[in-house]
Structure 1
Amino acid sequence: MDGPTDYDFCSICQANFHIPCQANCSHWFCGNCILQVWNYGSALHPCKCPLCRREITLLVPSEVSSRQRHDPGVAEVLQRTERYNHIFGERSNGLMQRMQDLPFLLRRLLQDLINPQRSLPLVMRARVFLAVKSSLSNMQL
């Protein structure tokens, strides 16, 4: 699934999704809503998911949102999302965080492999690689 279901809504604004983004915990939010949650907290730390309280270290916009980059409002939210991912998606996380993110990242990678029109951002590919590599190395210990 490349976006939230049609009958779902953003748990922050309680409205239909506008520029939907999926967090690494698999919950969906409006891009602007989840970025506002981060803005109201510490800019030095990732925000926590309002639903499950896990740290959000990666925000993935839906494919539909990514195709609307020509709209200035959408482009601005996508740019802020990329900045968030750059700050928190590339940093080294603990083993538990990597293990929790692995199902989400593998599901997104599988979607990318099935549909050649899609292209995972480099930061997601790196996270999948690092998560799998650290999981395998820890299993060998």
Structure 2
Amino acid sequence: MDVPLENDICSICHANFHIPCQANCSHWFCGNCILQVWNHRSALHPCKCPLCRREITLLVPSEASSRQRQDPEVGEVFQGIERYNRIFGERANGLMQRMQDLPFLLKRLLQDLINPQRSLPLVMRARVYLAVKLPLLSMQL
């Protein structure tokens, strides 16, 4: 699913989604809301999902939001999301984190394969590869 449910609202601001982003735990938030949660706590550590308390290591904006990127407000939120993903999405995570993220990443990868118009970000492709490959390598050793 590339968009939040139709009647769903952001669990942070309790309003309709504005620039919806999906976290690696599969929960949806307004892009600006989740970035404020991150900045409010500690910009040195990834924030935890306000709903399930899992560490958020990846934020994926909806496809519809990506098309509005020329809007200055949307562009600013996208820069924040890209910065967040650069800092926390590429760092080495433990095996448990990779296993927890695998269903989310595989679902996104499948959507990317089905729809040739979409382009999965490089950081997500790398995470899917590492999530699948590293546990297999460790089992062979």
- For the aligned pair, the TM-score class normalised by the smaller chain equals over 0.9
Matched, 1:2 2:2: yes
Q: Deviations over 1:31-61 (max 9, x none)?
A: 0000000000111100000000000000000
Matched, 1:133 2:133: yes
Aligned to 1:75: 75
TM-score, normalising length from structure 2?
A: 0.98
Unaligned runs of 5+ in 1: none
Identity percentage of aligned residues:
84
Tell me the number of residue pairs that the alignment of Structure 1 and Structure 2 aligns. 141
Alpha-carbon distance, 1:134 to partner: 1.3
Alpha-carbon distance, 1:140 to partner: 3.0
Of 56-65 and 128-137, deviating more is 128-137
The secondary structure found in structure 2 opposite 1:85 is: helix
Alpha-carbon distance, 1:90 to partner: 0.3
Alpha-carbon distance, 1:96 to partner: 0.2
Aligned to 1:112: 112
Alpha-carbon distance, 1:6 to partner: 1.0
The secondary structure found in structure 1 opposite 2:22 is: strand
The secondary structure found in structure 1 opposite 2:98 is: helix
Unaligned runs of 5+ in 2: none
**Alpha carbon RMSD of aligned pairs, Å?**
0.8
Aligned to 2:92: 92
Q: Quick one: distance in 2 between partners of 1:27 and 1:140?
A: 34
